[in-house]
Structure 1
């Protein structure tokens, strides 16, 4: 099982959909070779250097954390059922209530769509808060998500970064 990288009063908690098999096996977030999370985080300005997946806990130094919407690892996120998301939502809410981040950034639309009950979701800042946190939805950095280039991912992530430092 992949452990959260989390603490109280973080600026942003990034919420992946669920762990990939490699990340679960390694015990480190976004450790798949094709995952672009760490690179994009650095390029967008969140970190002063590119963190390696094997040093994922360094993220806390920058006042950011990581969690997943669903704990069960899979090869692809579309292997998860709607019921798994729904069952995970209460746990997620309790976690956000306990840790109280300023922002929650969902990586991909899937988890937020089920958690919020919204059918139409736009990228970026959402109009509703969740557990008093401002919600953003960012494109998933998975290597399987080739609909977004590194440059496009960086633009989306940079928008959150700029808002979060104001």
Structure 2
């Protein structure tokens, strides 16, 4: 799955790993039940609800997309612990190269595993990667029934307000 990256992004959104569907179509958050695109719009990151196929328009807004783990699976519970560790190393290289203001990891469990922070909570994290601030949001996958779209929009909106505040 190709990353959507550019130097100096405001936010680099980081999914856990691509779904099998996303990997086939080559687009991030492509499954019809994924709430990433509506949450992005409702939170004010995008001027309208983008279709997954319009992901390239994110760059003009200073936004990018990557994943902790590149391997596509039917669900994230199929990933091995070592893949998260290797994924963090890859993220560190991307952050060092592209220098986003924020790295937003979309999945608390993924963040806890990749960054060895078992007690992390949603929101801004104390640690940084260089000058990049870390933020954790819920996974917007339709498989994550714990967070409905209004909850996701509110939490994504907290990040957007922090980004806008500098």
Q: Which band: TM-score by shorter chain? A: over 0.9
Following superposition, the deviation at residue 114 of structure 1 comes to: 2.2
Stretches of 4+ aligned residues off by more than 3 angstroms = none
**In 1, are the aligned partners of 2:87 and 2:114 still within 8 Å (CA)?**
no
Give ranges in structure 1 of 5+ residues lacking alignment: none
Following superposition, the deviation at residue 131 of structure 1 comes to: 3.0
**In 2, are the aligned partners of 1:47 and 1:62 still within 8 Å (CA)?**
yes
In structure 1, what is the equivalent of residue 100 of structure 2?
101
In structure 2, what is the equivalent of residue 4 of structure 1?
3
**In 2, are the aligned partners of 1:107 and 1:140 still within 8 Å (CA)?**
yes
Following superposition, the deviation at residue 115 of structure 1 comes to: 2.6
C-alpha distance in structure 2 between counterparts of 1:88 and 1:16, whole Å: 11
In structure 2, what is the equivalent of residue 72 of structure 1?
71
Following superposition, the deviation at residue 44 of structure 1 comes to: 0.4
Q: Normalising by structure 1, what TM-score?
A: 0.97
Question: Residue by residue, what CA displacement relative to the aligned partner does 1:55-98 show, whole Å, maximum 9, x if unpaired?
Answer: 11111111000000000000100100001111222222111100
Counterpart secondary structure, 1:165: helix
In structure 1, what is the equivalent of residue 118 of structure 2?
119
Number of aligned residues: 165
In structure 1, what is the equivalent of residue 50 of structure 2?
51
Counterpart secondary structure, 1:41: helix
Question: Residue by residue, what CA displacement relative to the aligned partner does 1:121-155 show, whole Å, maximum 9, x if unpaired?
Answer: 11111111123211100011000001011111111
Q: Normalising by structure 2, what TM-score?
A: 0.97
**In 1, are the aligned partners of 2:85 and 2:115 still within 8 Å (CA)?**
no
Give the CA RMSD over aligned residues: 0.9
In structure 1, what is the equivalent of residue 35 of structure 2?
36
C-alpha distance in structure 2 between counterparts of 1:14 and 1:83, whole Å: 21
In structure 2, what is the equivalent of residue 110 of structure 1?
109
